[in-house]
Structure 1
């Protein structure tokens, strides 16, 4: 299977283009040579067959061939709003959530959050997580890249009224009796950090239009619960 490379620009058939620096480095790391096939996608749907034309020290030229209107993304628009787990767990959460089809990710700072980011540090981590999502799309065959939103506090995010008409909004709470997940075509799931959401935060979420749902008798980790939801919805859509 040809290597898959994301490129954030408009693509047209039968054109010769120079890859931007990040994509060029990716191709060089893969040690592709002139004449080798690769697949490009720009997140706007489908993917492009292409062929390496020229390799330089920092420049890589490729010939675009044909567009294939393939669609491998999740049939439902699912957004995860997550209290960021600490250390490398957020990286893994972004990667696996992307593989499982999430459409958007909202990193949150909650009352019990261990990882607290703001200002330049938050911007750098957002950019890093967006790169993680792109790499996961390249690996998994997705043609649309989920957006990783800027880091926000839970209270600020809830005050922006994130629950829209036609969107099933659920807050994951291990104390909730309801385990049924909504069949809606668009869903928004709020999940807490290590230690979970506080009672006050759950109440704020309910006031904002979320309903409490559980995921069974076991208490799942902060980086496991949202992935369990995505895996369930992904299998249910087959």
Structure 2
């Protein structure tokens, strides 16, 4: 049986005992039906992982004893900040999940003109919390010990005008420059992907005025989620660790 990896949002130290979160407890005790003394791996985002065993297991409480601290890093050498236009349904969850698995450093959901979701501040907060959980789950699955930063949903104009020393790239199917010809600096890339329906002409103009290079992956028009994952994969294959 594969050893479960569990995120715990508190400091971890060798020989200490910790009570796992309610969510982790439910997953281990009621879904996986683990037993006492079973091995688990814990991480809290500090860049390390901690081998542990379960010293107490019940339906409502699981306690782990930490046995060792391991300095294991599988982070990509390429820093990628994804600016993703928010889309309807589960597309945004899917993009966040796969982007984390592919090693992105930061993700900012963007509210664009063609954004299909109109929410108040409270409901955007719930969405943000949901996306953070998706990122944590992806880290548990893929073995990352550093949590990528999931920023609060941000207006398109605010994000494209933020100061950065990364190269700025906008994916667009009608761009003249091919993606493979882009030179990525050591500081990494800020990658901009539109929502369903893409960016408006005005938004493309604004990105160019803000220093973004418009590039294309190929002649076909990709869905927003396909575009994001394809672009990240290409960046990692050319300049990262794939």
Name the TM-score, length of structure 1 as normaliser.
0.93
2:11 match: 10
Deviations 1:80-111 (A, max 9, x none): 10111211111111111111111111111111
CA distance in 1: counterparts of 2:230 and 2:205, whole angstroms: 23
- 1:35-184 to structure 2, matched below 5 A, reads 35-158=37-160, 161-165=161-165, 167-179=166-178, 180-184=181-185
CA distance in 2: counterparts of 1:105 and 1:95, whole angstroms: 11
1:232 pairs with 2:234:
yes
Structure 1 residue ranges (4+ consecutive) displaced by more than 4 angstroms after TM superposition: none
1:23 pairs with 2:29:
no
Compute the RMSD of aligned alpha carbons. 1.5
Cα distance, 1:172 vs. partner?
Answer: 1.1
With over 3 angstroms needed to count, the CA separation of the structure-2 counterparts of 1:104 and 1:20, relative to structure 1, is same
Name the TM-score, length of structure 2 as normaliser.
0.92
The number of residues matched between the two structures is: 235
With over 3 angstroms needed to count, the CA separation of the structure-2 counterparts of 1:181 and 1:46, relative to structure 1, is farther
CA distance in 2: counterparts of 1:172 and 1:163, whole angstroms: 20
CA distance in 2: counterparts of 1:233 and 1:32, whole angstroms: 39
Deviations 1:28-71 (A, max 9, x none): 22211110000001111121100000013322111101111111
CA distance in 2: counterparts of 1:109 and 1:35, whole angstroms: 47
Which stretch of structure 1 is more off in the superposition, 181-190 or 10-19?
Answer: 181-190
1:209 pairs with 2:211:
yes
C-alpha contact 2:26 2:59 (8 A) present in aligned 1: no
Cα distance, 1:191 vs. partner?
Answer: 0.9
CA distance in 1: counterparts of 2:141 and 2:85, whole angstroms: 26
Cα distance, 1:210 vs. partner?
Answer: 1.3
CA distance in 2: counterparts of 1:7 and 1:138, whole angstroms: 11
CA distance in 2: counterparts of 1:41 and 1:102, whole angstroms: 18
